Amino acid sequence: EIVMTQSPTILSVSPGDGATLSCRASQSVTTNLAWYQQKPGQAPRLLIHGASIRATGVPDRFSGSGSGTEFTLTISSLQSEDFAIYYCQQFHNWPPYTFGQGTKLEIK
């Protein structure tokens, strides 16, 4: 089973600033990685697939990068609606599909 580890657990950032979230896989997942955003009381929403491809309707302030075992989700110029929990997930070697434990992006 591939273990996904996200860091940091909590990230405090001021609106208008940028944020960088990290995700590490215990073995290579090539670019078979997705990022999701989840707000309280809502289902997760797909942001990025294929490590760097924005899903339909996702603002271009969200960008994903990385391959192999190291991945990054970058959010430029944070808006109020961006404060949420973010999860990464690998699709390379399954079952099981595995998620990271999440990074909570909170307002500083």
Which lies closer to another protein via its Cβ, residue 36 or residue 62?
Answer: 36
Whether 92 contacts 72, CB under 8 Å: no
Which lies closer to another protein via its Cβ, residue 75 or residue 88?
Answer: 88
Residue 6's CB: how many other CB atoms inside 10 A?
Answer: 21
Q: How far is the CB of 17 from another protein (least distance, A)?
A: 25
**Token digits for 58?**
């996702």
Map residues 30-69 to x or -, x wherever contact with another protein holds by CB under 8 A: ----x-x-----xxxxx--xx----x--------------
Whether 22 contacts 69, CB under 8 Å: no
- Type of residue found at 58: V
In the complex, the residues that contact another protein under the rule CB under 8 A are 34, 36, 42-46, 49-50, 55, 87, 89, 91, 94-102
